[in-house]
């Protein structure tokens, strides 16, 4: 029991210094604020730190958590004190059709390729009621990034237009927001290989300082993006257009 409690305390401490993770939850909370989810059936999908799932529960509604690995499943069960399910082979979600009013897909599970990501988006569409709401986070794809001047390659992901095309197959896109600007993203890269426990306080201080610097660049796009969509009928033509890299406008114009 002490081991379980110690691990839960470690996860809580990690969430406290994980400013990008907290910003993700805050952005999701703002998107859900207008939906009135007090009595909604909600699913959070793929959060690596179960404290994020715990914070979503504070927004109201009836939440279920699902993760990708056995380790994450045990950690989430210890923090949430409830059963946590695991995603099946091929990103199959262990739920019946039209079971949820809201699905929140955590950042880090989209590969940045419509061919790879479409099955997961389709699964989210399948388990959502109509109308239901999907909130999905990923890296923001840029044509040019100042971070490239510091070495390393930019992570994959989608820009607004690409995200729109990906979700338009089965969702009316209600909004796309970016967060985590240059200095914070630079700090994330600097700590990418650091031990979470050893660098905890130092990491948190650097994240806070970087976020303050980013306030001077409020007019720029962030390096993380979250999209908000409302479920509609799945359209195969739009799916094919998204997979083959064409815009929805071009697909419709060219027949």
- Give the H or E element holding residue 13: helix 2-17
- 244 pLDDT higher than 60: no
Q: Note the pLDDT of residue 250.
A: 47
Phi, psi of 173 (to 5 degrees): -75, 120
Among the listed ranges 4-13, 64-73, 75-84, 88-97, which one has the minimum average pLDDT value?
Answer: 4-13
Residue 14 corresponds to which tokens in the numbers above? 């990690």
Task: Write down all domains in the chain, each with its CATH number in brackets.
Answer: 2-181+222-244 (3.40.50.150)
Q: Note the pLDDT of residue 142.
A: 78
Write down the pTM of the prediction. 0.87
The pLDDT tens digits of the residues spanning 107-139 come to: 999 989 999 999 999 999 999 999 999 999 999
Specify which residues 230 forms β-bridges with.
133, 172
């Amino acid at each position: 029991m002490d081991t379980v409690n110690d691990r839960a305390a470690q996860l809580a401490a990690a969430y406290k210094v994980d400013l990008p993770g907290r910003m993700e939850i805050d952005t999701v909370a703002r998107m859900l604020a207008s939906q009135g989810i007090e009595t909604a059936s909600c699913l959070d999908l793929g959060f690596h730190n179960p404290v994020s799932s715990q914070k979503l529960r504070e927004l109201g509604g009836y939440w279920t958590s699902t993760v990708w690995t056995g380790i994450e499943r045990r950690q989430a069960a210890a923090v949430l004190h409830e059963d946590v399910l695991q995603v099946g082979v091929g990103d199959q979600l262990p739920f019946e059709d039209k079971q949820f009013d809201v699905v929140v897909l955590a950042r880090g599970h989209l590969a940045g390729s419509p061919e790879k990501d479409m099955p997961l988006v389709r699964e989210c569409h399948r388990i959502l009621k109509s109308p239901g709401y999907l909130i999905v986070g990923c890296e923001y794809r840029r044509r040019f990034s100042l971070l490239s001047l510091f070495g390393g390659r930019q992570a994959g992901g989608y820009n607004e237009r690409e995200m729109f095309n990906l979700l338009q197959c089965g969702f009316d896109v209600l909004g796309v927001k970016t967060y985590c600007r240059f200095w914070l993203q630079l700090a994330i890269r600097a700590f990418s290989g650091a031990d979470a426990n050893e660098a905890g306080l130092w990491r948190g201080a650097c994240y806070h300082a970087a976020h303050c610097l980013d306030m001077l660049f409020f007019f720029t796009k962030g390096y993380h993006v979250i999209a908000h969509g409302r479920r509609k009928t799945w359209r195969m033509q739009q799916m094919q257009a998204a997979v083959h890299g064409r815009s929805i406008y071009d697909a419709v114009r060219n027949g």
